[in-house]
Amino acid sequence: MAVPSTTSPPANRSGLTPDQLLALYRWMRLTRTLEERLVALYRQTKVVGGLFRSLGQEACAVGSAFALERRDVLSPLIRNLGSMLVKGAEPLEILRQYMAKGDSPTRGRELNIHFGDVVDRNFVGQISHLGDMVPVMAGVTLTFRLRGEDRVGLVYVGDGATSTGAFHEGINFAAVQRCPLVVVVENNGYAYSTPTCKQTAAGQFVDKAIGYGIPGVRADGNDVLEVYRVTREAVERARGGGGVTLLELLTYRRKGHAEHDNQSYVAPGEIEPWAQHNDPIDRYAARLTTEFGFDVATLARTDDEVRSVVDAATELAENSPPCDGPDALIGVYANPPAMPALWYRDGVGPAVAAHERPASWGTHDG
Amino acid sequence: MAEITFLEAIREGISEEMERDPSVFCLGEDIGAFGGAFKVTEGLQARFGEQRVIDTPIAEAGIIGAAAGAAHYGMRPVVEMQFIDFISCGYDMLTNYVATARYRAFLPCPIVVRGPSGGYVRGGPFHSQNPEAAFLHTPGLKIAYPATAEDAKGMIKAAIRDDDPVLFFEHKYLYRRIKGTMPAGDHIVPLGKARLAREGKHLSIVTYAATVWKALEAAEQLEREDGLSVEVLDLRSLLPMDDAAIVATVKKTNRVLVVHEDTVTGGIAGEITARINELCFEWLDAPVRRVAAHDVPLPYAPPLEDFVLPQTSDIVRASRWLAAY
C-alpha cells in the first residue's frame, strides 16, 4: 500500500488557536501514552482480555472528534480511543475497563473501550459486530433532525465494515432521511489479516458515496489538521441540513489486530516507512515547531504532563476493587431490575436482593 | 362501545400512545400513506404526519438499529416488520445490539418491533413463521403474543410504554377474524401476566396466540363429548413468562398439555415443560405432553399446511390421551 501524500495546506488555514493546536498534540500523545501503559499492564496480565492499539492512527480519531461539539454524538470503534478522550472519556475509565474493575464504566460487563455516555459527553458504546453502529447512529441523528436539535453525529467504520450489510442499510437510510451524520471510513489497510484488495473491488472506499447520493471526501488520515479540516466541513454540512458525508481517511495499522497478533501476513518492510516517515504525532510535532512557532520544550512538557496523568490514573485503577459476582445478575432489564440466581447457588439470592445500586448506575432511567 | 377487530385494536393502541407521548413514532416498510401490508398503520401518517410515520427502505437490520439509536436519545420507536418472518434479517441487531444495550452500556432501548406472524393462512414458508423461540433465548428482550383483541390493544400500549425492548407478535389469522369490545379509558394489559381463558378441573392446556382459540374449541368438544372439564391458560407474554399462573393451573388439574403453532423441537413448549418439572413435578398425575407443528418448513398447499400445523382435532386427541393416563 502506498504512503499517502504528506502535503498539507498552509498554516493559516488551520483556523485553530495556539491552545487548540497544542490540544490536538496532547490528545494524540495521551492516546499513545495510555495505550503504551496498557501494553505494560497487558504483559503483567492485569488487562484480562485483548488489547487493541491505534498506533499510527491517532490523528484519524483525534482530528475528527475535535471537529465535534460536546452536544454532538460520536460512535467510536476499537481504534478510536483518541476520539473518546477528546469527547471526555477519562484515562482512569479506560484503565478500569481494560482491567475489568468493579468501578469501571460498565461495571465489568464489557471489554476495553466498549462503553458510552449518552447523557453528558455523548459517545455511544460500540458492539463487536462491525457495521452495526451505522444504523444506530442513523437513528440517533434522525432523532436530532425530527426534534429540530442542532446536533450532529459521527460514526467510524473500518475498511472491513464497509462490506457488511449493516453499513449499507445504515448509510442508505441515513442518506435518504438526510440525517446530520458523518460516516468516517478509517482505511488502515487491514481488517484483521485481510488486506483492502480482498475487501472490495472498488478503487477507493470514497467511491461508495456516489452510490448513496452523498458527498465523499478522501483525506490523509495521518495529518491531524487535514483530518480536522475535512471533518469540520462535513460536520458543518450536516449541521446546515446537508445530510450525510462519507469521509475516507487513509492511514495504516502498524500493530496487529490485537496484541496477540504477530502480523505474519504483513509483507517484510511494509510497516517501517510508516513508522519512520509517516507517524502522525512525529509529523504534527514537526509542523508545530517549524510552522506554528511552538518550541520543543513546550511539547516535552506536554509529554511529561500526559505521562503523569496516566501514572496517576494507573495507580487509582490498580487499586480499584474487582467486580462482585452476583452483580452480574443486575440490569438486564429496567424491570425486573435483577434476574434470579439459579437454584443451586445457595445464598446468592439474598445477596442479589440486598445488592445496592450505586449512584452511577442506571443514570438513564431517571 | 362497538366491537372492533384485533387489527383495529392494535392500530387504536398505537394511535393512542402516539397521541399521549410525542416521543412515540413508527417506522417500517410501506407503513405511511399505504398504511402497511395489512393496513395496521392505515391513517396514522395522515393524522400524525410524515415525521412520525416514516416509510423506510427495505432494511430490517437498518431500521431496528436506527430505532435503537433513537431510543438511546429519548424516543420510543415502533418498528413494523412487514411480515414477522423478516425479523430474521434483523436478528443480529436485536440479539447483539438491542438486547444487550442496557446491560453492557446502560443504554435505554425502549423499542417495539411488531409484525404479522403465524400460519393457517396459506402463506407458505416465508409468510407464516412463528419465530418467538429464536428470541426467547435472548436475555434483554421481552416477547408479547396476544390472542384477543382486548389484549392486543392493552399489550401494544404496555409494550410501547415499557422501558425494555419488546417483540410484539400479531397473529395474522386473528387480524380480522377476532373482534372485541375495548374497555373504556386507558386500557393497559401488563406484560408478563397470563390470562385464564377457560376454567376447568380435569386437565390444563397451556398455550398462546392462535392456538388459544383452537384449545377453546377443543375444550368445548371435550366437555360435550367426554364430559371433560378443560382449563385453558393463555400465556399472552412469553418473556417474561407467568410461572405462577402455570404452576397454579398444574396444581389445580394435575395434567398438562402444552400447545403451540411453532415447530416442536426447540419450541417454547420444551421450556414450559422444564419449568413445570422444576416447579411442581410432584403435582403431576401424567407426563406433560406437547402438541405443536411438525419439524418441517411450513408448506403452502392446504393439505400440507393442515397436516403440519396443530389442529383442534389434534388437541382433542392428545387431551383424551392425557385424561386417560
Q: Report which DSSP code applies to A321.
A: P
DSSP string, A12-55: GGS---HHHHHHHHHHHHHHHHHHHHHHHHHHTT-S-S-----T
Question: Which residues of chain A does B63 touch, with a Cβ-Cβ cutoff of 8 Å?
Answer: 135, 169, 173
Interchain CB distance below 8 Å, B102 and A331: yes
Within an 8 Å CB–CB cutoff, is residue A359 touching chain B? no
| Portion 69-88 of B in contact with A at CB < 8 A | 69-75, 77
Look-up of cell digits 478509517: A186
Phi first, then psi: give them for residue A182, nearest 5 degrees.
-110, 125
Question: Which residues of chain A does B95 touch, with a Cβ-Cβ cutoff of 8 Å?
Answer: none
Interchain CB distance below 8 Å, A125 and B104: yes
Cell matching residue A356: 445496592
Residue of A nearest to B141 (CA): A333
Within an 8 Å CB–CB cutoff, is residue A49 touching chain B? no
Give the separation between CA A62 and CA A164, rounded to whole angstroms.
25
- Provide ipTM, 2 decimals: 0.94
Question: Which of B67, B103, B106 is nearest residue A139 as measured by Cβ atoms?
Answer: B67
Residue of B nearest to A363 (CA): B106
A192 Rama class: left (phi>0) / alpha (psi -120 to 50) / beta? left
Within B43-158, strands assigned E span 53-55, 76-80, 112-117, 142-144
Residue A8 pLDDT: 47
Give the separation between CA B126 and CA A231, rounded to whole angstroms.
44
Those residues of chain A that have pLDDT short of 50 are: 1-12, 359-360, 362-366
Within an 8 Å CB–CB cutoff, is residue A139 touching chain B? yes
Question: Which of A124, A135, A333 is nearest residue B140 as measured by Cβ atoms?
Answer: A333
Which residues neighbour B155 within 8 Å (Cβ) at sequence distance 6 or greater?
B13, B144, B146, B168, B189, B191, B236, B237
Residue B289 buriedness (CB in 10 A; 0-12 / 13-18 / 19+): middle
Partners of residue A123 on adjacent β-strands: A74, A117
Give the separation between CA A76 and CA A46, rounded to whole angstroms.
24
The alpha carbon of B16 is separated from its chain's Cα centroid by a whole number of angstroms, namely 21
Compute the residue count for chain B.
325
The sign of the CA dihedral B86, B88, B92, B94 is positive
Those residues of chain B that have pLDDT short of 70 are: 1
By the 8 A CB rule, do A97 and A113 touch? yes
Cell matching residue B89: 434479517
Angle value at C-alpha A271, between A269 and A273, nearest 5 degrees: 80
| Per-residue pLDDT tens over the stretch A105-124 | 999 999 999 999 999 999 99
Within an 8 Å CB–CB cutoff, is residue A112 touching chain B? no
Residue B93 pLDDT: 98
Give the separation between CA B56 and CA B37, rounded to whole angstroms.
14
Within an 8 Å CB–CB cutoff, is residue B57 touching chain A? yes
Residue from B189, B291, B207 nearest B249 by CA: B207
Interchain CB distance below 8 Å, B65 and A170: yes
Residue B118 pLDDT: 98
Cβ count within 10 A of residue B67:
34
Cell matching residue B184: 373504556
A125 CA to chain B: closest CA distance, Å?
Answer: 6
Question: Which of A132, A142, A166 is nearest residue B70 as measured by Cβ atoms?
Answer: A142
Residue A3 pLDDT: 47
Give the separation between CA A256 and CA A249, rounded to whole angstroms.
19
Residue from A50, A48, A57 nearest A76 by CA: A57
Give the separation between CA A321 and CA A311, rounded to whole angstroms.
18
Residue from B96, B61, B71, B30 nearest A168 by CA: B61
Cell matching residue B39: 393496513
Look-up of cell digits 502506498: A2
Give the separation between CA A123 and CA A116, rounded to whole angstroms.
5
